[in-house]
Amino acid sequence: MKKTIIITLGGIVFSTLFYTQDLGINAFIYSLFLIIALAISRHQILLKSTIILSALGMLASATAIAVHGSAWSIVGYFLSTLLFIGYVASHQTSIYLSWLNGIYNTVLGVFHSFFYQIEEPEITTPKKAVDVGQLVKVIFVPLVLVVVFTLLYSTANPVFSDFLTAIDLSFIDIFWVFTAALGALIMANIQSPQPIIEITDQDINYPNELAPKKLNDLQLLTVKNEKQIGFISIICLNILLVVVLITEVLFITNMSGSSKASVLSDAVHQGVYASIVSIILAIGVIAFIYRGDLNFIKNNEKLRMLTYSWIALNALLVISIFIKNYAYITDHGLTHKRIGVLVYLLLTIIGLVTTYLKVSYRLNFVYLIRRNMAIGYTVIAIYGLINWSAIITDHNINVQQVDRPYLESLLPQNALVLKDHGLYEEYTKQVYRSGSSRDRYYESKFLNRNWQEFNYIAYKIKQDQHEVAQ
């Protein structure tokens, strides 16, 4: 009975919050409802650290949606919500398995018993149990069939069509009901999340450390050959990277005068991304060389030192990219892409550090995937909390590097900053606005929001306009 109430409430809450509504404070309210609902059904594991952290990430991203509503805050919200559901299903799994479990439960949760024959626990005292999944299917499937066949019969039989037309159901919003049914189905799916058993168990039992094994003569010869190939390859790559770094230093030291502005754009837009790809490939090469038995053979210290030096040289390459990007920002102002380059560089440095740890502590490739995906998610989630459009606008106006069409494209997230600088009314005229209609800022639509869509920026703009009108 308790589960039935939660599912019913889930449908009503979902439709009330999201039917014909944009995202706003409704995301935060639904997150709280989701936490409470899962706390009721799975309270025994809700205090696990992974579940607490993913729940906090979900609430933080939902708050960012209500405050500024950037695209990255929405991305962070959906990633955190799926992660939370996945961790409730199995709190010990890797982050990518938790996302998979979150998607699985959101879409197919009520069908879990079809995929796995789950034995019911023995009950010592007679108790009438309610099969919630079966109850939902008994209601939802016949309802869909009745609606479909009613539409078919109404087109084939005019008398039946007239009969349906005569029934006054105008007080019922069928799409609201459908949204509520969808919300109830989602809640039925996730009210008691279960993991995909086989891959979840395999992931939990898969260690981060490489296990040494006894090699026969043929295997030992193969490993020694791999060591020789790796040694020569990394020597060549070290030499090549030293040459590249010398050219980087020459380029950076000659970035002056008129040539700086004309060449810097190409250096950043082409060189930065190519360099980042090369570093990612470098991490992949190191992970491949140190994937197994090579970690445990004797006399591989020279190969390790060469590998560490290559990692250090790649870190210097990251620093050179940072210097070029910083110079580009200084000359031409901030943009989302230039901030994105800084984020890429941060993730690349983290990738180099985890690669060093992998080689140093004889860890496997799964360790790299687990750590780097968890760190990547954390960076994206934190990135989505910040209103970068407002920061970009304020910086560019203060340093007098104003690109009006670009700043207009950042509306509505930068609306309060434009208002502080006395530019909001001018920029919202859209005289210079370009691009497709979906990129345009429509003030009336943004400001006239229902309570479910509450957004702090819209609230402040509307409040200021009301004060001016008075």
Q: What digits encode the pLDDT tens for the residues 9-46?
A: 888 999 999 998 999 999 999 999 999 888 887 777 77
Are the CB atoms for 417 and 393 separated by under 8 Å?
Answer: yes
Tell me how far apart the alpha carbons of residues 236 and 232 are, in angstroms, rounded to a whole number: 6
Average pLDDT of the chain, as a whole number:
82
CA 77 to each of CA 26, 59, 65, 70, 381: distance values in angstroms, whole numbers, following the listed order: 12, 8, 8, 11, 8
Rounded Cα distance, 352 and 279, in Å: 8
In the beta sheet, which residues pair with residue 209? 363
User: Is 328's pLDDT higher than 70?
Assistant: yes
Q: Pick the range with the lowest mean pLDDT from 94-103, 179-188, 428-437.
A: 428-437
Residue 116 has pLDDT above 80, yes or no: no
pLDDT by residue (tens digit) across 364-373? 888 889 999 9
pLDDT score, position 264:
64
Percent of the chain with pLDDT over 70: 84
* Separation between Cα atoms, residue 181 and residue 184, nearest integer Å: 5
Q: How far apart are CA 404 and CA 401, in angstroms?
A: 9
Largest CA distance in the chain: 90
Average pLDDT of span 347-374: 89
3-state helix, strand, coil split of the chain in percent (to 5) is 75, 0, 25
Query: Could you tell me the residue ranges of all domains in the chain?
Result: 2-115+132-199, 217-363, 404-469
The tokens describing 37, both together, are 């609902």
For the four alpha carbons of 208, 209, 214 and 218, in that order, the dihedral sign comes to: positive
CB 60 within 8 A of CB 73: no
Query: Are 443 and 429 contacting, i.e. CB atoms less than 8 angstroms apart?
Result: no
Say what the pLDDT of residue 258 is. Answer: 46
- Residue for token digits 């695209």? 71
pLDDT digits (tens, 9 = 90+) for 245-286: 898 888 888 765 444 555 666 666 666 677 777 778 888 888
Over residues 192-209, the mean pLDDT reads 86
Q: Are 14 and 51 in contact (CB under 8 A)?
A: no
Dist. CA 316–CA 333, nearest whole Å: 24
Q: Of 50, 130, 121, 56, nearest to 89 (Cα)?
A: 50
Paired strand residues for 363: 209
Q: Is the pLDDT of residue 6 over 80?
A: yes
**CB–CB of 384/429 below 8 Å?**
no
- Report pLDDT for 137: 62
Q: How confident is the model at residue 431 (pLDDT cuts 50, 70, 90)?
A: very low
Find the range with the poorest average confidence among 161-175, 191-205, 234-248: 161-175
Size (the chain), residues = 470
Least-confidence region, from 23-32, 108-117, 431-440: 431-440
